[in-house]
Amino acid sequence: MKHLTLLALAFTLIATICLGAKSPYQAVLMHSRIRGRPHGPNVCAMQKIQGTDKKYFTNCKQWYQRKICGKPAVISYECCPGYEKIPGEKGCPAALPLVDIYSTLGMVGASTTQMYTDRANLKEEIDRPGSVTFFAPSNNAWSALPHEILDALVSNVNIELLNALHYHMVDRRLTSEDLKHGSSFTSMYQDFDVHIHHYPNGIVTVNCARLIKTDQHATNGIVHVVDRVITAISNNVHSFIDTDDDLETLRTALAAAGMTSMLESEGQYTLFAPTNEAFEKIPPDTLNRILGDPVALRDLLNYHILKHMQCAESIVTGMPMETLQGTVLEVGCDGDHLTLNGKAIITKTDQLGTNGVIHYINELLIPDSAKTLLELMEGSAVTKAHQMFLDAGLGPLLSGTEALTLLAPQDDAFKESLTMDGEMRKLMNNHVLKTQLSSKSIYHGQELETLGGLKLRVFVYRNNLCIENACIAAHDKMGRFGSMLTMDKVLTPPMGTIMDVLKADDRFSLLTGALQTAGMTELMNQQNLLTIFAPTNDAFNAMPRPELNRLLQNRQELSQVLKLHMGDGMLVSGGVTSNTRMQPLLGERLEMGMLNYTVYVNRVPVVEADLMATNGVVHAVNSIIEPLPSRVDREQSDGPAPGVRSASSRVRKAPSILRGFKNEDLFQKVMKSRSSRTMTQRQ
């Protein structure tokens, strides 16, 4: 209990401090300080990706996951920004000496930048009184520059190198709190702006370079160490596309969709730019159809554009991001590679424009809204249904422009191989609705007309939305002209009344006769919806023969027994949850539950569910259903019928089991007879 209390206090402390932080960066810094506190004052916990030099201040989620970009991370403890160790003392008790910017560069891992300031004769400028912010590339950042670029800089130190360093400088002091998301500041190189992004996970970037050591204060300014050398940006995103031959097809598509001006205007876009190779991977018929359809083309292109600017370094875990098309892309990372929807298809990152960033991808992303119904099925868990629709000759229709809704059973719905014949072709036609719908527009009692001419009924339950016996098993897929609803079962449209269903199945021959004897045939043919838990011949034959004969000859008692097996209303198996209740036509209640994909009613398992009729549904049971006691243990109410009990216990429970019936004598005799038979079997 003491440990739990301390843990709760720690969580409260972390939450209180982080909520009081002035910026996301300050929040993760505070969290890292708290995690490092046991190791001494001013110690921060850092997470380092194994096998790399990348380190991050840790937030709560990363701390427990111990992963960054899907790779294991190890915890290290280092001095927080602005502090240093003292030999022999715990933690980092000493504040770094406050010196000028030039000297600070040498103290914070930017000695290469310090060296280049000497070569470019910049030392005197940054030593003078004033206030300057220096986004200083780390030593590793300079080492990562291509040799030809570095050679060009150092071979012309008075112009190229000096200009490059000036672009990393702003003529004012900017702390991490001043580096607001989406802000820009004028650099000291020809008034070109540097572009800041401050992300919710605490990562701060300048021109997509990550700040790895932030807020290193100096007497005449401040230093932020960054992980790459940044370059001046003068062109917008579209100008970048316009000059790259590898994006020629994209350029043509943007012009055809009338989107050129958008990418030339002010904004903060992220464009996942498909290369020519990406377009070439698409089947020509599909690509030509989309390119020739302005609506589909705009949806496709907008699906590649995020509403905000997302630099590669800001991604440390998968997260959904909204596109201009309206749906989301899952943007994540796997080690050093960015991923889209779980696929490592990003080949080049962080190509910056004044109004956004471009990441190159080698696969075209086609949103559902640009797909035909056949294309919606491809890649979904409805491959068997896809083939069945093709075998039924529906391919051309589902590839066309007619507004339809496809009811596609998921692969698990096909329990056995099916042969395409006339009846199966008719059934597949009845899985296509004549209008385009979404699950949000469907309501209880609605009738949906199919291509086959049938009208399917809609049933809305607390836990499910069902069309006849099949319930929706996944989110809608809304295509260019039609929509697809993934169903958990193959539809079995009703072909007759409840009486027709029972007569057509040999398992219910005794029940059919009993209904006729009880004068309930008309009830089975009426229009009002009923749910029938239909005892099979096995259920009747399990009764002692004399008692069965007596029951079948007593019309009144037979009617009472049968009405306990009938519920008012329509309940398919997909609408059953734990402790679902239904009012029988006679008696107090029917209690249902689901266990291991089997429906139970008053503890009796349903052996076959959802035999659909025009006026209800039939569920087959192999036992006669008995009334439940007044109090039922909820754990048992959803389970199978109990095993063989002693005769005395059965006799004791008989009165409560018979509750709800006017004449209990017949059932007392039945119960005693069953008890007697049980005793005989034991002997």
User: Could you tell me the maximum CA-CA distance found in the chain, to the nearest angstrom?
Assistant: 114
In this prediction, residue 668 carries a pLDDT of 44
Among 293, 273, 291, 275, smallest CA distance to 283 is for 291
Q: Per-residue pLDDT averaged across 192-219, rounded?
A: 96
User: Which of the four pLDDT bands, split at 50, 70 and 90, describes residue 20?
Assistant: low
Among 63, 71, 1, smallest CA distance to 32 is for 63
Dihedral of alpha carbons 519, 521, 526, 528, sign: positive
Share the mean pLDDT of the chain.
88
Please state, in angstroms and rounded to a whole number, the distance separating the CA atoms of residues 203 and 226.
Answer: 11
Q: Per-residue pLDDT averaged across 131-139, rounded?
A: 97
Among 314, 299, 390, smallest CA distance to 357 is for 314
In this prediction, residue 579 carries a pLDDT of 84
Dihedral of alpha carbons 108, 112, 115, 120, sign: negative
Q: Per-residue pLDDT averaged across 610-628, rounded?
A: 95
Q: Are 612 and 493 in contact, with CB atoms under 8 Å apart?
A: yes
Stretch (H or E) spanning 413: none
Among 108, 79, 113, 77, smallest CA distance to 93 is for 79
Q: Are 610 and 619 in contact, with CB atoms under 8 Å apart?
A: yes
In this prediction, residue 21 carries a pLDDT of 60
The residue with greater pLDDT, 337 or 374, is: 374
Please state, in angstroms and rounded to a whole number, the distance separating the CA atoms of residues 50 and 40.
Answer: 25
663 pLDDT more than 80: no
User: Which of the four pLDDT bands, split at 50, 70 and 90, describes residue 260?
Assistant: very high
Three-state DSSP string of 85-125: CCCCCCCCCEECCCCCHHHHHHHCCCHHHHHHHHHCCCHHH
Q: Find tokens 């019309």 and name the residue.
A: 555
End-to-end Cα separation, the chain, in angstroms? 57
Q: Per-residue pLDDT averaged across 627-646, rounded?
A: 47
Q: What angle do CA 181, 184, 190 make, to 5 degrees?
A: 160
- Percent of the chain scored above 70 by pLDDT? 89
Buried (b) or exposed (e) across 32-50, using 16+ Cβ within 10 A? Answer: bbbbbeeeebbbbbbbbbe
Sheet order of strands, 470-471 included: 447-449, 455-460, 465-467, 470-471
Please state, in angstroms and rounded to a whole number, the distance separating the CA atoms of residues 481 and 459.
Answer: 25
Query: Facing residues of 334 across strands?
Result: 337
In this prediction, residue 683 carries a pLDDT of 38
658 pLDDT more than 60: no
How many Cα atoms are found within 13 Å in the side-chain-facing hemisphere of 402? 16
Q: Per-residue pLDDT averaged across 616-629, rounded?
A: 93
Q: Are 545 and 583 in contact, with CB atoms under 8 Å apart?
A: no
669 pLDDT more than 50: no
Q: 579 by DSSP, 3-state: which?
A: coil
631 pLDDT more than 90: no
Buried (b) or exposed (e) across 370-391, using 16+ Cβ within 10 A? Answer: bbbbbbbbeebebebbbebbee
Q: Where are the alpha helices (DSSP H) in 401-554?
A: 422-429, 498-503, 509-517, 521-525, 537-541, 545-553
Dihedral of alpha carbons 609, 610, 612, 613, sign: positive
How many Cα atoms are found within 13 Å in the side-chain-facing hemisphere of 433? 25
Q: Are 388 and 430 in contact, with CB atoms under 8 Å apart?
A: no
Q: Per-residue pLDDT averaged across 272-295, rounded?
A: 96
Could you tell me how many residues make up the chain?
A: 683
Number of Cβ within 10 Å of residue 610's Cβ equals: 20
Among 649, 647, 635, 640, smallest CA distance to 672 is for 647
Among 593, 543, 536, 533, smallest CA distance to 564 is for 533
- Look at strands 598-601 and 590-595 and give their pairing: antiparallel
- Percent of the chain scored above 90 by pLDDT? 77
Number of Cβ within 10 Å of residue 607's Cβ equals: 16
Q: Per-residue pLDDT averaged across 314-330, rounded?
A: 93
630 pLDDT more than 90: no
pTM assigned to the model: 0.81
DSSP state of 570: -
Q: What is 263-309 written as a DSSP string?
A: HHSS--EEEEEE-HHHHHTS-HHHHHHHHT-HHHHHHHHHTTEESS-
Stretch (H or E) spanning 345: none
Range among 19-33, 69-83, 267-281 with highest mean pLDDT value: 267-281
Range with the poorest average pLDDT among 215-219, 414-418, 661-665: 661-665
Q: 606 by DSSP, 3-state: which?
A: strand
Q: 677 by DSSP, 3-state: which?
A: helix
Q: Where are the alpha helices (DSSP H) in 303-440?
A: 373-377, 383-391, 395-398, 422-429
In this prediction, residue 407 carries a pLDDT of 97
Among 569, 553, 571, 551, smallest CA distance to 561 is for 551
In this prediction, residue 155 carries a pLDDT of 92
Range with the poorest average pLDDT among 13-17, 109-113, 169-173: 13-17
The residue with greater pLDDT, 641 or 34, is: 34
